[in-house]
Amino acid sequence: MKQFHHLYIDGKWVEPSGEETRTLIDPTSEEPWATVTSGAGGDDVDRAVAAAKHAFPSFSTTSIDERVALIDRIIAAYERREAELSQLIAQEVGVPVSFKAQVTGPAGHMKVARDLIATYAFEQQLADTIVRREPIGVCALISPWNWPIQTSVIKVIYGIAAGCTMVLKPSDASPASGVALAEVMDEAGVPPGVFNLVIGRGSVVGEALSSHPDVDMVSFTGSTVAGSRVGQSAAQTVKRVCLELGGKSANIVLTDGDLEKAARWNIQRGFSNTGQSCHSPSRLLVHESQVEDILPFLEDEIARMRVGDPRNPATTHGPLVHAQQFKSVQNHIDVGLEEGGRLVVGGPGRVDGFDRGFFCRPTVLADVTPEMTLAKEEIFGPVLVVMPYQSEAEALDIANDSIFGLGGYVFSEDRRRGYEFACGLRAGRISFNGANTNSLTPMGGYKQSGIGRSMGVFGLEEYLEVKSIYGFEEEAHALPSL
């Protein structure tokens, strides 16, 4: 079996303070495939934060050209390993190798960050004042397992672009992906202490990072429950917190929307990554007169899915990440049926033909109403609920009747009508008629879906502080010291 028993601190692979290890289970075969350290604790966090703090004064003053060159080296090192990384996440968390965005996307995000800082105004003149944006300091980056490489890359690369130093804690479920990213950083020649990796339990390592007095900012992606704990811990030392949390996004098909297009897109988008995406359109809102018309399209699109070993290029959908997630999704399906949901396709149990692996049956339940559990809770699996509405006003109320506000989706043949409806949704990212999102624009949520934004200009500014320097009427670029 493979072994991942070291941490990466101050440019070196080091032993953790504790000797404990745990076994990683392949979600396809349910067989052990690696062991990983679980012995990291507060002392290791202290070492990593101290290394980042020591590196910050010099790295924060590097030129934009130096940071651009560093990001270029990281991109080159990363792209050399894309095929290997695809195989790794297939084994670690069950992401199909055919889902190429999981491994090609990170390089794209790095290029956006690199190009952005080349033109970003880190200084500007306001009256007799120079307003500067400066790196915030040492950043604690806590990433999830569902996009184990891309989410980490976004956090790390925007921190580097801003001139920050950092400590990354990958999810307990995807530590090997974190190790692979640290290897990329090491190969690219990231200066010692700028990037550090500490593997360990969230309740130990995550808590120590969030509450650490020498950490200036925490960026966390994960569940709302865990994010709330991170925020509480961070508040003890009054540090900035950026949170991307849960979602229960609605896809609203207005009465003039293309039912077939909306249905097929909802399955393609919502069940990609086996439904384990926080932006997943997991509530499909359809006018009550059109519900029966849209269901056959959902069934047909699900029939086109190819569930299987994620290492097989023909597979479109792999297993859920682990036994706990499989059990959670099964419980949600059972509850949905008990509360009166009508089973359209799928249901409890494994996909037919599989006696091992966490292969959940892609499931659609109709006749779901707002008070039902499945209309409220994030399921994080290939489960879609179809909810009827009588009027657009009611559809908007249903869509906004959630503690979450991460994403939203609208289908209509009338652009103005669709835009006006989208403006009424209380969510951070809205897609019209299945439009693709992009890495230039901000990602984040309303309400309990989070605080702050990632990606693009807004994502960069999460890692920057604002300073006003008064008494300088000349342009900032004319000052030799700047």
Catalytic residues: 244, 278
Tokens of 393: 């006003």
Ramachandran quadrant class, 369 (left: phi over 0; alpha: psi -120 to 50; beta: rest): beta
Strand order in the sheet with 249-253: 342-345, 363-366, 383-389, 281-287, 249-253, 407-411, 429-432
The CA distances from residue 482 to 57, 130, 476, 477, in Å, are 16, 10, 7, 7
**Neighbour-count burial of 431, counting CB atoms closer than 10 A to its CB (0-12 exposed, 13-18 middle, 19+ buried):** buried
442, amino acid identity: P
CA dihedral 214, 219, 221, 226 (to 10 degrees): 40
- φ, ψ dihedrals at 349, nearest 5°: 100, 175
The single-letter DSSP state of residue 146 is S
Q: Pick from 347, 343, 339: which is nearest to 371 by CA?
A: 339
In terms of DSSP bridges, do strands 12-14 and 7-9 run parallel, antiparallel, or are they unpaired? antiparallel
- Residue 106: Cβ within 10 Å count: 28
Could you tell me how far CA 273 lies from the centroid of its own chain? 12
Q: Which residue has the tokens 């949905």?
A: 336
167, amino acid identity: V
Could you tell me how far CA 334 lies from the centroid of its own chain? 27
Handedness of CA 294, 296, 300, 305 (dihedral sign): positive
Give bridge partners of residue 298 from the DSSP assignment.
Answer: none
In terms of DSSP bridges, do strands 165-169 and 195-197 run parallel, antiparallel, or are they unpaired? parallel
280 contacts 269 by C-beta, under 8 angstroms: yes
